[in-house]
């Protein structure tokens, strides 16, 4: 699932793994430069993944709040379509938050 933000979980994971491989290869062949560049790429990939995760979580919070508001307004005004749409948006936001919850 892609984030609409500027960071990508997929790209972050790719660079993290590629950096680890590069670092390992550098260690195996005795190249400090390759090893250090791999370590930097790994760290940058991890940072990008975490940034994308945070962006997704914030989007989920926004969807939950906006959805809840629409559901309540729909319920109060008797607009079943708005109520259902609000509930769906709230549920989508909740799922997005769970998907992007920081691991502890």
pLDDT of residue 104: 61
Q: What is the DSSP letter of 102?
A: P
pLDDT tops 50 at residue 54: yes
Please tell me the distance from the alpha carbon of residue 100 to that of residue 55, in angstroms, as a whole number: 8
- At 74-90, the pLDDT tens digits run 999 999 999 999 999 99
Measured between alpha carbons, how far is residue 84 from residues 58, 59, 91, 92, 95 in Å? Answer: 22, 20, 11, 12, 17
Please tell me the distance from the alpha carbon of residue 47 to that of residue 51, in angstroms, as a whole number: 6
Percent residues over pLDDT 70 in the chain = 94
C-alpha gyration radius of the chain: 20
- At 2-22, the pLDDT tens digits run 444 578 899 999 999 999 999
At 44, the pLDDT band (50, 70, 90 cuts) reads very high
Q: Which of 69, 90, 76, 10 is nearest to 45 (CA)?
A: 10
pLDDT of residue 7: 83
Please tell me the distance from the alpha carbon of residue 69 to that of residue 71, in angstroms, as a whole number: 5
Q: Where are the domains of the chain?
A: 9-99
pLDDT of residue 2: 44
Mean pLDDT for all residues in the chain? 92
pTM, 2 dp:
0.74
Can you read off the two tokens belonging to residue 104?
Answer: 């502890």
């Amino acid at each position: 699932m892609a984030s609409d933000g500027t960071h990508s979980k997929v790209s972050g994971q790719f660079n993290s793994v590629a950096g680890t491989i590069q670092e390992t290869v550098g260690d195996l062949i005795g190249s400090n430069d390759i090893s250090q560049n791999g370590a930097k790429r790994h760290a940058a990939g991890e940072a990008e993944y975490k940034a994308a995760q945070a962006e997704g979580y914030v989007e989920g919070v926004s969807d939950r709040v906006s959805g809840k508001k629409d559901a309540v307004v729909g319920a109060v005004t008797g607009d079943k379509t708005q109520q259902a749409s609000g509930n769906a948006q709230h549920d989508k936001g909740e799922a997005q938050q769970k998907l992007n919850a920081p691991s502890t």
